[in-house]
Amino acid sequence: EIVLTQSPGTLSLSPGERATLSCRASQSSSYLAWYQQKPGQAPRLLIYGASSRATGIPDRFSGSGSGTDFTLTISRLEPEDFAVYYCQRYGGSPPITFGQGTRLENK
C-alpha cells in the first residue's frame, strides 16, 4: 500500500504571505497532482505531473519535487486561496492514491 502524508495538517497564514505545503510518498512516485477544494464544492485540479499548472490556474501556484517529496507553493496568498489542498499520486498500483489533505486557513 502506498501512503501519501501531507503536512502540516493545518496551516494558518494571512493574505499576501507565502504558503508551502508538503506531500511525502511512502514509495517513489513519477506522477503527482495537487487539488484545491472549497466547502461544498468539487475538487479543482491545480498541478499535474508534479510541476505543470492545469488550465486557468494562476501562476502564483507552483509545484515541485520528485521521488518521494513534493511541494505545492502559493507565492502570495489571495483571500480565495483559503481551502483544503490534496495531493494525489497516479500511475502504478494502485493507480490512484490521495493524501489526507492540508487545511489552509486565514489567520
Partner 1 sequence: EVQVVESGGDLVQPGGSLRLSCAASGFTVSSKNMGWVRQAPGKGLEWASVIYSGGSTDYADSVKGRFTISRDNSKNTVSLQMNSLRAEDTAVYYCARGGVVPGPNLAFDIWGQGTMVTVSS
Find the shortest distance in angstroms from Cβ 27 to partner 1.
15
Q: Which residue has the cell 501531507?
A: 6
Phi, psi angle pair for 46, to nearest 5° = -105, -50
Structure letter (DSSP) for residue 40: T
The answer to whether the CB of 101 falls within 8 A of the CB of 85 is yes
Binder of partner 1 out of 14, 42, 59, 79 (CB under 8 A): 42
Label the pairing between strands 52-53 and 61-74: unpaired
Of residues 72 through 101, those in contact with partner 1 by CB under 8 A are 86, 88, 90-91, 94-101
Residue 3 within binding range of partner 1, rule CB under 8 A: no
Summarize as ranges the residues that interact with partner 1 (CB under 8 A).
30-31, 33, 35, 37, 42-45, 48-49, 52, 54-55, 86, 88, 90-91, 94-101
